[in-house]
Each structure stands twice: as C-alpha cells, then as structure tokens.
Amino acid sequence: MSKSLQRIRGTQDIWGEPADRFQTVVEAFDRVRRLYAFQRIELPVFEATSIFARSIGETSDIVSKEMYSFEDRGGDGITLRPEFTAGIARAYLSEGWQQLAPLKIATHGPVFRYERPQKGRYRQFHQLDAEIIGTDSPSADVELLVLADQLLRMLGIDHGVTLEINTLGDDVSRAGWRDAVSAYFAAHSESLSADSKLRLDKNVLRILDSKDEGDRALVRDAPHVDAYLSAEARSFYEKVKAGLRAAGIAFVENPRLVRGLDYYSHTAFEFVTDRLGAQGAVIAGGRYDGLIPTLGGPATPAVGWAAGIERLGMLIDAPAPPRIDVALVPLGEKAETEALAIAATLRRAGIACDMAYRGNMKKRMQKASASGARFAIILGDEELARGQAALKDLASGSQSDIAIADLVDAVRGS
C-alpha cells in the first residue's frame, strides 16, 4: 500500500470494539453532566496561537514542543487545540458569558499534541472536559470532583482508580513558596536539565512538572507549599476536604501533586490508576483563578478537569456489541424493493433492523443469526403475492406468516 494511504503516526482509526468503548465513555459523560446541570458547549478545534502561548506559557513543553501551529492563508498564527481550558476561557470573554456566571459547562472532542505515542496516548486524541467558571466557592471544586467520581462509578472503574488531591495555596502562599523553591533549585542548578535551567529564570514552579528523571529526583526534596499556606488558603483546602468526606468521596493527599503554571491556585487533583503504565492519570485538573486575567479579562475564579476518552475506554469492560431486533432476508429483486419499504417502516417505529443483501438463502440466514437479531423477516415472491412475510424467531426457530401491514405489531408483541 502506498505510504500516502497510511494513517499518520500517532493517529487512530477507531472502529469495532474500541469505537463501542469510546461511545460508552461519551454517553456516560453526557448522562452525568446532565445530572449535575452542566451545559454542553461546542468550541472551534483551532484558536489563535497567542491564546495558548499566553495561557499555557511560552516555556511549557506543550507550547515549545508539542503544539501543531501554522500560518493560515491570511498569515494568521493558528494552533490546533492541545487542551480545552484556554479556548473555553477565550469563549467566556469573547462571547460575553460573564453575565451567566457562575457557569457550569462541559464538552468533549479531539485535541492535538505532537508527543511520543504511548499506551492510550496519541497525537490526535480525545478528551472530556468539565468546568465551573465565576465562583470562588470550594463547593465548586467538590462538585466537580463528585461529578468525576460518579462518572467513574457509571463506567464501573471506580474501584481501580484513586483520587489524589493537594493545595497550591493562594497568591500570598505561592509568593513565599515560589521564593523558597527558587532558592532551592538555584542551589542545585548544575544538576538541572537544560529545560529546567531555562525555567529557573522564567517560571521556577514549572520545574516541579518536569518529566526529566534527574529533575524529578531533585523535586522530591523541594520545599512543600504547606509550610507557606496563608490562613485563608488553609481554610479553603479544609473546606474542600470536608466537602469530599460529606459526599462520601475517598481521597488521599499527595503533597507532591503540583501544577507548574502560575494561574493555578488552591485545589489540584488527579484520579490515578496503575493499570495504564507510568502515565497513570485518567482525570486531572484544578482551580485556575489566574487564567482569565492572563488573557486580558477581569479577575475570574474557575475550576475544571479533563479526562482522556481513550484511556477511560481502555479501563472499562468491553461493552456488549450493538444488537438489532430484525434481520431482513429478501429473495429476489422485487423482494429487495419491498424489504426497503419494510425496513423504513420498522425503523420509524423504533425497531432496529438490517438487511442481508447477498448470498443464497443459507448464507443470508447465517448472517441474520450472527447479527444477534431476535427475528428474521423472510420475503420472497410467494410471500409478496400474498401480501405477507415469514417472521422467524431466531432463538426458538419457530416461524409464521404475517401480513406485511402487521409486522410492526408482531415484532413488538413478541
């Protein structure tokens, strides 16, 4: 096969059971977001490059290494979204959604990052996303975490996933913490990776997010934010934990769970598992009160999370294959035309059906049985002449002639 016909590395053609897993995750997310009164939104798949450069940060790996960016024909810098939050923040400002705050919104769709493909990670992959914008209440953090927990329960994977939480403090807390972290890494600068040496001057907290093994060894002994928490930040964190306990949500505190970006504050969290290798987070997020001001908007508190659809799909039990109610087996050209009319009538009545077009009678009946259908409707010249069709119960093998006009009632009544 020509190389030009091969799918691009890091992409996927989703079909069969993986597609059923994908749809199961999306449908569960849609059910749970409705239970929590989150409105569905749709966003452009690309934004101005400046939206991500300003929100995610020029020195982040996503911006410097992973974004799919290009100039369009008008010369504008465009980037395929590497995540949802920046685009949601842009829409919140540009569409005038401030008047609707607090706003509870959810979406899902493809995102794009040029990274090394690995288990459950692709260059085009898909995420669920849920956000609450416009409230600084710790109850919003709790609600999002309870929503995520219920999604995992709906999918039947809650027992294999652990919620880890931490606090990043408020602006006052982070100032003292940042100074301490800066002094610590400055004293160990010779041992830092090249990327982290750049971050030491531009945004030292991003070193805490480093994936370099040498950096991670240093991070283990870096100052904790706990020692620098203001009374207000400590109170916020305690309220989040109390809310989780009240809702019956189990969690563990992980003081090493951080977010390197400056706009994050207070709650950081991940739902993690050991069933997907080293990259164990399946849902991750936190409070990002400083993001919207970064884009030029007013001070706006917000909290949200994202989850990989493919990764959640890998954890769930294989869904039952889709089943149909009726398999139509037409024999002859006239029968095929009549079968099309019967199929349309059945489908309009909410009865799922499919057509066995090819092969002899034996092969068509084998296909009907393999489809998992409850019934086969067999239609030939003799049946047509009588205005009837043979309705066969594929489980019992019993068969009876039914007037074509009565097929819907016969199928429903069986």
Strands of the 46-48 sheet, one edge to the other: 46-48, 77-80, 68-71
Least confident segment among 47-51, 145-149, 306-310, 332-336 = 332-336
Report DSSP letters for 172-189, one per residue.
HHHHHHHHHHHHHHHHTG
pLDDT surpassing 90 at residue 62? no
pLDDT of residue 179: 92
Span 365-394, average pLDDT: 90
CATH topology of 3-170+230-315 equal to that of 326-413?
no
How much is the pLDDT for 202? Answer: 76
For 191-215, give one letter per residue: b (16+ CB within 10 A) or e: ebbebbeebbeebbbbbbbbeeeeb
CA distance linking residue 179 with residue 175, whole number of Å: 6
Domain at 326-413: CATH code: 3.40.50.800
pLDDT value of residue 120: 58
pLDDT of residue 57: 63
Domains of the chain: which residue ranges? 3-170+230-315, 326-413
Does residue 64 register a pLDDT over 70?
A: no
Would you say residue 210 has pLDDT above 90? Answer: no
Among the ranges given (76-90, 233-247, 273-287, 308-322), the one the predictor scored with the smallest mean pLDDT = 273-287
Which of 246, 189, 192, 236 shows the shortest CA–CA distance to 214? 192
Fold of 3-170+230-315: BirA Bifunctional Protein; domain 2 (3.30.930)
Residue with tokens 């002899």: 360
Question: pLDDT tens, 258-283?
Answer: 886 778 899 999 999 988 766 589 99
Query: In this predicted model, what pLDDT tens digit does every residue of 99-132 receive, in sequence order?
Result: 999 999 999 999 999 877 666 578 999 999 999 9
pLDDT on residue 356: 75
Instruction: Look at residue 59 and tell me whether its pLDDT is greater than 60.
Output: no
Of 307, 303, 308, residue with least CA distance to 144? 303
Least confident window among 186-190, 231-235, 257-261: 257-261
Please tell me the pTM assigned to this model. 0.89
Task: Find, among 41, 36, 301, 237, the residue nearest to 149 by Cα.
Answer: 36
Question: What is the pLDDT, as a whole number, of residue 398?
Answer: 94
Answer whether residue 98 shows pLDDT above 90.
yes
